Structure 1
Amino acid sequence: MTVELDLTIDPVDLTVALVAAPSVSEEEAELADAIERALRSQAPHLEVVRTGNAVLARTNLGRPSRVVFAGHIDTVPVNDNLPPRLVDGVLHGLGSVDMKGGVAVMLHLAVTVIEPKHDLTFLFYDCEEIDAARNGLVRVERDFADWMRGDVAVVCEPSNGVVEAGCQGTMRVELRKTGQRAHTARGWMGVNAIHALGAVMSTLAAYETRTVDIDGCTYREGLQAVHISGGVAGNVVPDAALLRINFRFAPDRSQEQAEAHMREVFAGHDVTVVDSAPGALPGLSAPAARELVEAAGGTPVAKLGWTDVARFAALGIPAVNFGPGDPTLAHTQQENVPVEQITRCARVLRLFVGG
């Protein structure tokens, strides 16, 4: 069944329509087709291009500043949470939080804001929920680099309708220990690799996380063991053991500084970095970012997690998260968003961009 979207309807109703269109990662083509058709037919004031299952749209009005809005259209796999249900002012369903409420607000603004005070770019992209190398923004940055440029970027990930500034960096490291096999009846003849991880586990248990204030936003770091493996059989002293650790670091640390800190914390152990992504500084001093904070009211908070704001920050573009929905419900079977948050985010962003 072909998906058809009316982008002029209330953003709440548009969110319902988007949630009803399944778009699990790598299966976004039908929804991307619908978004492209709708933008080309309902927004003649926008330049529209398609790359894979990402759809890009922008104004070219010659404004002195440009705001980039970004939102992914894919979801995690269905978990008995479709079709959408609207009950007592709350929308339930896969992607209602992460992040079709934010995408609906973006689409509605793209079509209905004709004379904004900033030039606007809208990036609707694919494969955010899977391997980072597959993320549609990687392709956009490679093939349409100028579409990523702006004075500020707003990633409409769920933030409870509060401006979440910047994001933490993330790093995964591995520590391996080797030993010597022996029969457990004669354990003294072997060297237990799992036991050798005891000192590392003690270090983790005693680790004191750092809290840092940046532009009035408080970032709390975290260091957690996330995987441990080893052992051969129930009667064999293990000769190999592996521990994986995740480090969430404040954006005042670079990846290099984060790695140096890991090697310092686990001095004397062989540390291998297996995955790393930089954080993003808040960037709230940028004029356009200050305008958004003013339009949203309240006080900006730190983003405790990693989002695509980091991709923009790496390009030197201030970026924030702002969208409807509680991020702690993302990826859960119970995804739901109060419709008032969708309405409020649309109102705030319309005030921010004008027109």
Structure 2
Amino acid sequence: MLSPEILADPVELTRVLVDVESVSGDEAELADQVETALRRAAHLSVERHGNVVLASTHTDRPQRVILAGHLDTVPIADNLPSTVEGDVIHGCGTADMKSGVALALNLAATVARPRYDVTYLFYDCEEVEAERNGLNRLAKTHPEKLAADFAILLEPTYGLVEAGCQGTMRAVVTAVGRRAHSARSWLGVNAIHAAGAILNTLEAYEPRTVTIDGCTYREGLNAVRIAGGVAGNVIPDECRIEINYRFAPDRTEAEAAAHVRELFADFAVEITDSAPAAMPGLASAIAKEFLDVVGQPPQAKLGWTDVARFAALGVPALNFGPGDPNLAHKRDERVEIPKIRAGAEVLRRWLTA
């Protein structure tokens, strides 16, 4: 259980959180423990919406900030319970993102009068489809709960500020042909052969590099899945190639879709999934104050995170957490103890200056 002694130590707290299994869709036990621990703090008002837990200070500060983190992990890969080797904690969720959640819980429990009013937000189902995402649900049903002047998403960034995020889009590009018996192939049109033009376009594609507010975002357009064929003696009449497009924050979803359709104008294009990018969010005074405390320049977030949901609500948001994003979802996922302590110190100095 999350005792006051455990809540006071972000390193031990990380270990305890990791050892509560919380694969997406199975976060109830961890949400229960988080809620119980936060309700013990007299300076917090606590709400529960499904497996989303919110805890807020109400000290009449003129500005409010949000510290947010997801409770879920990807499936276990023989990497629970956690283990410690030297200055490293190993285990599922150590980097993505229970070490970040530990920082928020530690501050929530121990900082009674922060310099801003704070909403601490812990949510479920980030690692799965968007309609199950707890932050997404809350934004649709109770957007007023997310009203703030600034937000920090405690995703793994290895102790740096990663600003904004790329947008992401999936599309299926289909080449069509005409079926025929393979013994009389000249009577048909081979759709798999025709799909070569799609692959050639992808191979020749030169992705943009876009710099916004000093942060450089590199785009990418890649085939991620291909399907075609009917039988061993049939000329196929369809070949489908799924592509993933990661686009910079200067493009809207509509502009990204138009770009994909233009590239493959000779083929049928179906946009199957899309999420917007987020601008860096560095202009606000609160963001600048946080960057001053971090003491290192921000970098572009190369990937999609829930900062985009905050941006859509008009809340500037940054990514900051102790884990290494390159270790997320790996069997040997781990987090360095000095990074946890350094991240906790940065956030505490920022909130209590």
Which TM-score tier does this pair reach, normalised by the shorter chain? over 0.9
Q: Which amino acid aligns with 1:106?
A: A
TM-score (norm 1): 0.97
Which position in structure 1 is the counterpart of 2:149? 151
Give SS of 2:348's match: helix
Segments of structure 2 that go 5 or more residues without pairing to the other structure are none
- Looking at structure 1, the residues matched to 230 and 3 of structure 2 have their Cα atoms a distance apart, in angstroms, of 56
Q: Which amino acid aligns with 1:31?
A: L
Which position in structure 1 is the counterpart of 2:31? 32
Q: Which amino acid aligns with 1:19?
A: V
Which position in structure 2 is the counterpart of 1:110? 108
- Looking at structure 1, the residues matched to 140 and 203 of structure 2 have their Cα atoms a distance apart, in angstroms, of 42
TM-score (norm 2): 0.98
- Looking at structure 2, the residues matched to 158 and 180 of structure 1 have their Cα atoms a distance apart, in angstroms, of 49
Q: Which amino acid aligns with 1:56?
A: L
Cα drift, residue 144 of structure 1: 2.6
Query: Bigger shift: 13-22 or 180-189?
Result: 180-189
Which position in structure 2 is the counterpart of 1:340? 338
Paired residue for 2:279, among 274, 278, 281?
281
Q: Which amino acid aligns with 2:224?
A: V
Paired residue for 2:118, among 111, 120, 127?
120
Give SS of 1:194's match: helix
- Looking at structure 2, the residues matched to 191 and 340 of structure 1 have their Cα atoms a distance apart, in angstroms, of 61
Query: Bigger shift: 128-137 or 265-274?
Result: 265-274
- Looking at structure 1, the residues matched to 263 and 3 of structure 2 have their Cα atoms a distance apart, in angstroms, of 53
Give 1:10-159 correspondences, 5 Å limit.
Answer: 10-41=9-40, 43-159=41-157
Deviations 1:101-139 (A, max 9, x none): 000000000011111111101110001111110000122
- Looking at structure 2, the residues matched to 69 and 287 of structure 1 have their Cα atoms a distance apart, in angstroms, of 17
Q: Which amino acid aligns with 2:32?
A: D
Percentage identity across paired residues of the two chains: 57
- Looking at structure 2, the residues matched to 167 and 313 of structure 1 have their Cα atoms a distance apart, in angstroms, of 10
Conservation of the 8 A alpha-carbon contact between 1:171 and 1:246 = yes
Cα drift, residue 268 of structure 1: 2.0
Query: Bigger shift: 303-312 or 251-260?
Result: 251-260
Which position in structure 2 is the counterpart of 1:9? 8
Conservation of the 8 A alpha-carbon contact between 1:282 and 1:320 = yes
Conservation of the 8 A alpha-carbon contact between 2:131 and 2:137 = no
Conservation of the 8 A alpha-carbon contact between 2:70 and 2:125 = yes
Conservation of the 8 A alpha-carbon contact between 2:8 and 2:109 = no
Q: Which amino acid aligns with 2:39?
A: R
Cα drift, residue 345 of structure 1: 0.6
Deviations 1:291-316 (A, max 9, x none): 11111111100000000000000011
Point out 4+ residue stretches in structure 1 off by more than 4 angstroms: none
Cα drift, residue 194 of structure 1: 0.8
Matched, 1:195 2:196: no
Give 1:213-232 correspondences, 5 Å limit.
Answer: 213-232=211-230
Give SS of 2:310's match: helix
Conservation of the 8 A alpha-carbon contact between 1:184 and 1:236 = yes
Cα drift, residue 354 of structure 1: 1.0
Q: Which amino acid aligns with 2:218?
A: R
Paired residue for 1:255, among 233, 253, 272?
253
- Looking at structure 2, the residues matched to 351 and 9 of structure 1 have their Cα atoms a distance apart, in angstroms, of 16
Cα drift, residue 5 of structure 1: 4.1
Query: Bigger shift: 185-194 or 89-98?
Result: 185-194
Query: Bigger shift: 262-271 or 78-87?
Result: 262-271
Which position in structure 1 is the counterpart of 2:177? 179
Deviations 1:41-93 (A, max 9, x none): 1x110110001011100111111111111100011111100010110100000
- Looking at structure 1, the residues matched to 103 and 151 of structure 2 have their Cα atoms a distance apart, in angstroms, of 15
Give SS of 2:234's match: coil
Cα drift, residue 143 of structure 1: 3.0
- Looking at structure 2, the residues matched to 330 and 192 of structure 1 have their Cα atoms a distance apart, in angstroms, of 41
Cα drift, residue 10 of structure 1: 1.1
RMSD between superposed Cα atoms in Å: 1.0
